[in-house]
A and B are shown apart, each in its own frame.
Chain A
Amino acid sequence: MTGRRRGPRFLLAIAVAGLISVGGRAVAGDPGYKSSIERYSPPDVVLVNQDGARVRFRSLIESDKPVVLDFIYATCTTICPVLSAGFTSLQARLGADSRKVQLISISIDPEHDTPKIMKQYLRQFRAKPGWDFLTGSREDIDRVMKAFDSYITDKMSHKQETFIRGRSQGRWIRIKGLVDSNELMSEIGKANK
């Protein structure tokens, strides 16, 4: 429970870090990103993580930590590496506190992404504890995608989106477009205010 008690101060630190680094954005011509507040009801499914362990999805996202979620696949060439590098960067900034933000990457290619492949992927992105990569049956993965209004039939056309769970039940911030680590920190801070 120590983690929980230290939570607010920790979140404040994230928010402050976000504010301080606003000036860091360099890409003038970038369209940037859009964020919206949504309500989602994630399904009660059991998925499999990078260690091959079965994980109840709801218990993972209903933890008392900030939760950041994205949909990726290990063989993706363009967007996912950037999303994942964003997670790497976030964890690097959290330093020893990496466990205090739960990062979840959900595979949209469960036929290919086995625990072994997911573990290798996380290693490639130097993931620290607190970042889980989940796969599962095609049916369960589809249910999760649908619950986040992110269902696609073709993995190649997947979207550049990140989801941050807010403090109240079922409330999520949906970020459309790619964000840099300052922006991600700032959005996590806002979601958990």
Chain B
Amino acid sequence: MKPRRAPGGARFFLASLAGILCLATLLSAVLSPAAGNDSPVPELSQEETLRLGERIYRDGILPSGEPHTARVQGSIPVDGTMFSCVSCHLRSGLGSLEGEVLTPPTNGNFLYKPWDSLQESSKQLMGGGSKRRYLHYLTRVGDFPKRPAYTDETLADAIREGADPEGREFLGVMPRYSIDDRDMAILIAYLKSLSNDPSPGVTETTVRFATVITEEVSRKERDGMLVPLARYLQTYNYRQPRQTGIQGPKGRLVAGPVLPQVTLARWELKGPPETWREQLEEYYRKEPVFALLGGITTKEWSPIHEFCELHAIPCLFPITDLPVVSPNGWYTLYFSKGFYQEGEAAANHLAGMADPAPGRTVVQVYPDTPEGKAFASGFRDAVPKLISYG
């Protein structure tokens, strides 16, 4: 079991980084507060309203505990257990492009303002702030018709009947929801709050990132992670002011007003993993960041993983053989499941070569180290699944 360093990972990492820089730009576009935030349901606190609204949006469950119901494509009934708002509009509410369908943002900042793509495009040509850049991004991948700002009433109609304030119908893939007035008020209150607060580490001019390195990592290993990353960000910063949109097709693709500059802090962690959490909190208090990029340790990543989950900080592709293997983690993206995955691969291999004779015993002998345990648990978890293959 030699430690792996994700072959070809660097390129993948940098490609993903381009994605997160784009995301940071989107988030910086939603800095201004939305209108009206008092709880619309008198008997509920604002906090409770938002919690219930989040449950409708993310899980498709109404305050009654029942899934919401809707129709797609005119006549196909669907309910909240199949999919919900979050499926297409995403957790951020910033929308998506998938399967030839462009899904617009659904957060209050977008909905409660008029939309006029032509006007927005002309603003683009004259330069402007990151918000315009965001709108430019949308018009590049597709377009939505011009419409006035939504009101609570027209938004409720849109969600129920599938038409904008001008009466233009949405595509059939947008469900037409059956939601009563009270639940609608809760959902709308949530949409108004969605992606509404400024993201930590993001300002109009700067997006701050950090990378985590633990002290035992050799000079060579840390440079292997850090040098390409720092160089990439440096190049990114250098290129921004030069984007005029007239430097060939690629230039046009990324054309637009000047983007925020990016910075990368190095968060070095010392001592045993139990003490890392405190050190991370200290770094974060001093200088909040939008996301963690890369990172490297020879030990388990879990303290950093948990820190990111708690503060809702994205962490992109840390180099670790001991990631957290969990279906619930949201904020950290790993290259692989590390040694756990090697255990799964060994189980797969075994299932492929042996006669599936029932009653055979597999004895695992493994070192009592984090690596050995991760391997063994990957193997153990994979074996029952393989047996069911028959």
A residues with a Cβ closer than 8 A to B are 21, 24-30, 48, 51-54, 76-82, 84-86, 88-89, 92, 114-116, 124-125, 156-160, 178-182
Contact = CB atoms under 8 A, between A and B. Distances in A.
B37 interface: no
Say which size band chain B's interface belongs to. Answer: 20 to 34
Interface of B: 72-78, 81-83, 87-88, 90, 96-101, 103, 162, 168-169, 171-173, 385, 388-390
A25 B74 contact: yes
Contacts of B78: 81-82, 85, 88
A125 B75 contact: no
A88 B78 CA distance: 9
A50 to B, nearest CB: 11
A156 B88 CA distance: 12
Contacts of B74: 24-27, 30, 180
B87 A77 contact: yes
B82 to A, nearest CB: 6
A160 B77 contact: no
A27 B73 CA distance: 7
Contacts of A82: 72-73, 76, 78, 172-173
B75 A79 contact: no
B98 A115 contact: no
Contacts of A28: 169
Contacts of B99: 76-80, 156-160
B100 A79 contact: yes
A177 B379 CA distance: 43
Contact of A178 (B169, B173, B388): B173
A81 B172 contact: no
B87 A181 contact: no
Contacts of B72: 82, 85, 178
Contacts of B169: 27-30
A79 B103 CA distance: 11
